[in-house]
Structure 1
Amino acid sequence: MAGRLAAVSVALLLALVAVYFQQPFNDFLNRRPTVVDSARGITYIGRRSASVEHFQNIFYAEEPTGKRRFAPPVSIKHAKGSVIDATRSGAWCPQGIGDILPFTSRVTNISENCLSLRIARPKGTQKNAKLPVVVWLHGGGHTLGSGSDILYEPDGLVEQASTDGAPLIYVAINYRLGLFGFATSRELIERKETNAGLRDQRAALEWVRDNIESFGGDPNRVTAIGQSVGSSDIGLQLLAFGGAEGAPFQQAVMMSAGPGVNFNSYPDMVANNTATVAKQVGCVKDDDDQGPQTLRCLRDIPFEVLTNFSVAASRAARPPFGEGFFYPTIDHDFLQDRPSQLMRAGKFAKGIPIIASWVTNEGAWYVPSSTSTDEEVLGSFGLWLPNLSDDTKQKLLELYPLEDFVHMVRVDYDGPISPQWHRAAQMSRDVWFTCTGLEFTWLYLRYGPGDPSQVRLYEFNQTMYIPVWEAMGVPMWRVAHLSDIPYLFDNHHLHGNTDNSEPQIALAQDFSKTIIEFVNNANPGESTNGAGLWQPAYSTATSGQNWFDEVSIQLFGGPYGSDVVTISKDGDKDAKTDAEKAVYWEKLFSRCEFISGEQMRAEAGV
């Protein structure tokens, strides 16, 4: 009996010991990745998912509240010995709460204390690895989004790069949006406290330059990749301070847009929108909505109140998300003139290899489905470019004749969509995205002076979103804005009932590999089907040329596959392949030469 009691006692003791040591043992087996910045005495604790290590919610600037609201970011300085818990994502910058799209995150957690970034790297990366770095600038019209959105999950990209033997480190940044990021007024301009969102981006890129080596990155091999306004902002970073301070990155991929023909860059419209919100929250006294008293009041208003009023005002004026209500404007400091004027004066950071791009139906979701008249076609972008003359509007209608779009109507599939809708969508695509990419890259090469091998273009003609558009009742959107993002991230499990079939995954791998190659050696190499090299966009750019007469574009996906198409100004009759014929149908030479010409640029204020 005594022996049995002794045995039970031993068993209980062993069980208690096992329970006591189980958690530490599990923690040991699943040890969290740790980065030690020995120079600053800071330790970062991350988390691991499969073969990728994640470090999230790392602040690069102090909380921009009180007197720091609207002002340039203040670099954060942690005390020696600090341990940073980087295991979970943090707050998004102030914006509207709720759902955006079926394949994006639901916005639930917002705060002014949002100036953070996230880092992902291959498992086991050593401090001395010197890996190239990708820095992601998210889109969202300067009104919504975050580097932590599920659409931008970096695991696929990081894993693909490691599989290719070309590992990289990924960084995504948050920056201030809406009123908080782009408020402007006479007082703010005088104080040089404007374009805070752009200054946030630059501060984050400078944090990467100064800190990424501790994570195994090479601060001298940083590629900025941005989509939509993230792309446009990369261009503005190249134009910042008239190019006098260089760029905080060594390469760039500009997905959908450049800083050419974009929003009116004069500050009046945004200043009026800032004043509108100031009046709504009771901050305007004595009819002076531009002075120091109004600014002081706006800095004292609770951020929740300011967010609610500014989001409501922007969405009412620019439905559904409020894009184009607050955005970058000329402040004679960060942005010293209209972007197109700065480009033509050669006032930009030079020598940066660039890839610029657009997707085939880029303008689709900016056009109301009811569009059916000439006036409605022009009105589809009239809110953003209200000062276009009647002559300019008439010329645009002539450059996009209605008969060019009749063949695009699919009544049985799309419903009662007019060819006028397709006309407006193509016009919006070119005004906002295609012609801006062509204009920016052409001017970047011409006024660089640059090496033609440093500038490349692509058009993406495939999407995983077709089932989503069908469920939303907008099947006519086709290869719409955002379509190339999941292919870049090599995302095999996109949310929202998207098409994650094998052909889509194959193209994602091919496209991701191409960008990874560019990140590693500034050369995107062969096209995805091996048919030929991804050629520079322009063979030459002589100072006497007003516009290019030949351009090479890498096509990705679509019915004609992935290949390089080279078209010339007068070569449409010589088009041999279906891909060439399709690109000539876009009439890029005549349309973009006018859209980027002096008359429309001046009227648009770009």
Structure 2
Amino acid sequence: MWYLLSLAALFAHLSAAAPTINKRADPTVKLDYANIVGSSVLGVDSFKGIPYAQPPVGKLRLKPPQPITTNLGTIQATGLPRACPQMYLSSDNIPEDILGRFINTPFFQTVSNAGEDCLTINIQRPSSATPTSKLPVVFWIFGGAFELGSTQLYDGTSLVLRSMAQNRDIIYVAVNYRVGGFGFMPGSDILKDGSANLGHLDQRLGLQWVADNIAKFGGDPEKVTIWGESAGSISVYNQMTLYDGDNTYKGKPLFRAAIMDSGSVVPADPVDCPKGNAIYNKVVSEAGCANAANKLDCLRSADYTTFLNAANSVPAFLSYNSVALSYLPRPDGKALTASADVLGKSGHIAKVPFIIGDQEDEGTIFALMQSNLTTTDHVVDYLSTLYFHSATKQQVRDLVATYPDDPSAGSPFRTGPFNQLYPQYKRLAAILGDLVFTLSRRVFLNIANQKQPDVPSWSYLATYGYGIPFIGTFHASDILTTHGYTPGIPSTSIQNYYLSFINTMDPNKGMPFGFPNWPRWGESKKLLNFSALGNSLLSDDFRATSAKYIADHVDILHI
């Protein structure tokens, strides 16, 4: 849903801008391995689809990304970048399954410009930028449950234009990385091969590419802020903890600050856990590799159609399984040395200032498919079966009990008995939203402020979608505001605070007149509330009983 809304908003944004296009000579940047030719519109240069790694095809499928070692000549970085192979819908519902089977076909992937040769970067900058400008850089990591998404959907023009209007110029960078079974395949064979969490390794190589090349576009490699939403936000947290918190490259930090929109700590079992092996074995079987002497080599040698269909044969997040994801980052003992919660508690996290926040109703779109859940027992069974295999059923029941069986207490919040799609809808929406996003954020903030009290952090809650039937301020609605696709007070506010943070590592410095001071979370436990008509402060103490249970039992809430 959010994927389509974002796409529609993007096209509307670009269409609205079309009549005012003023072209200039095509900007060109010479790199060591290629000449990059971009385009210029509205005073913003765009370079889209710049390769930053060798194509991960053939023997490099399901392998860590490799730097480019040959000269690529002239690259026309002006088209629609290819997305990495996408994973869409799969379910037991026949109409949806038919749709899912169609969307997962190579034909549809080709139509949507997806394929394995997809490791590229987009750059957007003020046209006035030169190699001596040393502008702050924001490095965008898209979301999509680690199963779909690409840089195709995100355009930084609005943010760059706002930075230019305020004389706070920035450079916007967006990275493509492998998703689904191509980027986050689990299993014992994957672990032994050293090929786990490939999507995160893609992101890291993209950051290293920025360190090596962004100065030629006018950026300062020592002023990089990493920023992501949903799975991209979780990726930001994981980039902060990758290699036990070592974010250096050639002796310098790859980034100096971080922004996390909807996502941080996702406690997870190892790559070779029973669920991980079950996913891997299903893919192996569907690819016809079950009897191969080397199953992983067999997957690498399978034709694209066979491997795509096999990788997408397991449950997707737009299904009954929801955020009990088939593919996600899991501890591998090397890049992610332990579960996200363990790394945070042990202080293995890069010491950089950060902003983190959520939408008020994070869980609503993830609870749309479970209409058979009509009782407390059903909810407990659902969570026990699909999510928390280290927890006893009584422990899951105790968690569920912290959420009243009362629609007035559920999500979309503050809507009384209304918006109840099925008997446990609002309750499940509250639980899933808190576990994956809202209350896990508070748990992380508490840990971060205990371990690194000298590192500043700020937090927010967005409520500008209050009143939207059934979904409220739903997960990923912030894409529309942060990227300026829906102009208004929320978009203006968020972009202004973020520009301050990208430029100064403090969201308050350089803010235009009329915006409230955003206090550090560790000093006040206050959230900045982005509402439809303005901004205010909000105490971060709601659903305290549930938050305490999650914090006290995080070790059994691994997925």
Residue matched to 1:594: 549
Aligned length: 510
Per mean C-alpha deviation after superposition, the further-off stretch among 105-114 and 478-487 is 105-114
Alignment deviations for residues 474-519 of structure 1 (CA, whole Å, 9 cap, x no partner): x300110011112111224xxxxxxxxxxx5232112111111110
* C-alpha distance in 1 between matches for 2:318 and 2:461: 31
Match for 1:557 among 512, 524, 531?
531
Please list, as runs of the form range in 1=range in 2, the aligned pairs for 1:216-255 lying within 5 A after superposition. 216-246=218-248, 248-255=254-261
Alignment deviations for residues 293-335 of structure 1 (CA, whole Å, 9 cap, x no partner): 1011011001222112221323399458887111111111111
* C-alpha distance in 2 between matches for 1:521 and 1:122: 19
Alignment deviations for residues 550-600 of structure 1 (CA, whole Å, 9 cap, x no partner): 6111111147x4112245xxxxxxxxxxxxxxxx5x32x322121122xx3
* C-alpha distance in 1 between matches for 2:222 and 2:357: 24
Residue matched to 2:298: 297
Q: 1:455 to 1:322 in 2, by over 3 A?
A: closer
Match for 2:498 among 515, 521, 540?
515
Please list, as runs of the form range in 1=range in 2, the aligned pairs for 1:15-34 lying within 5 A after superposition. 30-34=24-28
Q: 1:450 to 1:207 in 2, by over 3 A?
A: farther
Per mean C-alpha deviation after superposition, the further-off stretch among 82-91 and 366-375 is 366-375
- 1:64 and 2:52 aligned: no
Alignment RMSD = 3.0
Q: Which has the larger radius of gyration?
A: 1
Gaps of 5+ in 2: 1-21, 90-98, 101-108
Whichever residue aligns with residue 549 of structure 2, its letter is F
Please list, as runs of the form range in 1=range in 2, the aligned pairs for 1:269-348 lying within 5 A after superposition. 269-285=275-291, 293-315=294-316, 318-319=319-320, 324-348=325-349
Shift of 1:34: 1.4
Shift of 1:379: 5.2
What SS class does the counterpart of residue 56 from structure 1 fall into? Answer: strand
Match for 2:403 among 374, 396, 400?
400
Report if the CA contact (8 A) 2:84-2:179 is conserved. Answer: yes
Please list, as runs of the form range in 1=range in 2, the aligned pairs for 1:151-230 lying within 5 A after superposition. 152-230=154-232
Report if the CA contact (8 A) 1:411-1:417 is conserved. Answer: no
Residue matched to 2:522: 538
What SS class does the counterpart of residue 233 from structure 1 fall into? Answer: helix
Shift of 1:601: 2.0
Please list, as runs of the form range in 1=range in 2, the aligned pairs for 1:367-378 lying within 5 A after superposition. 367-368=367-368, 370=371, 371-378=373-380
Report if the CA contact (8 A) 2:187-2:271 is conserved. Answer: no
Match for 1:258 among 259, 264, 267?
264
Shift of 1:124: 2.6
Whichever residue aligns with residue 315 of structure 2, its letter is S
TM-score for the superposition, normalised by structure 2: 0.84
What SS class does the counterpart of residue 596 from structure 1 fall into? Answer: helix
Residue matched to 1:488: 482
Match for 2:37 among 22, 42, 45?
45
Residue matched to 1:91: 82
Give the fraction of aligned pairs with identical amino acids, expressed as a percent: 26
Q: 1:393 to 1:304 in 2, by over 3 A?
A: same
Report if the CA contact (8 A) 1:533-1:564 is conserved. Answer: no
* C-alpha distance in 1 between matches for 2:503 and 2:314: 44
Report if the CA contact (8 A) 1:318-1:324 is conserved. Answer: no
Alignment deviations for residues 186-212 of structure 1 (CA, whole Å, 9 cap, x no partner): 233223121111100000011011100
Q: 1:95 to 1:379 in 2, by over 3 A?
A: farther
* C-alpha distance in 2 between matches for 1:463 and 1:344: 34
- 1:420 and 2:424 aligned: yes
Report if the CA contact (8 A) 1:45-1:55 is conserved. Answer: yes
* C-alpha distance in 2 between matches for 1:528 and 1:390: 52
Shift of 1:528: 8.8
What SS class does the counterpart of residue 212 from structure 1 fall into? Answer: helix
What SS class does the counterpart of residue 476 from structure 1 fall into? Answer: coil
Alignment deviations for residues 115-156 of structure 1 (CA, whole Å, 9 cap, x no partner): 00111111232121111111110000111010111xx22111
Report if the CA contact (8 A) 2:383-2:396 is conserved. Answer: no
Report if the CA contact (8 A) 1:34-1:43 is conserved. Answer: yes
Whichever residue aligns with residue 361 of structure 1, its letter is D
Whichever residue aligns with residue 545 of structure 2, its letter is S
* C-alpha distance in 2 between matches for 1:517 and 1:317: 36
Residue matched to 1:111: 115
* C-alpha distance in 1 between matches for 2:435 and 2:179: 23
Report if the CA contact (8 A) 2:55-2:117 is conserved. Answer: yes
Residue matched to 2:470: 476
* C-alpha distance in 2 between matches for 1:512 and 1:185: 41
Shift of 1:464: 10
- 1:134 and 2:138 aligned: yes
Report if the CA contact (8 A) 1:228-1:256 is conserved. Answer: yes
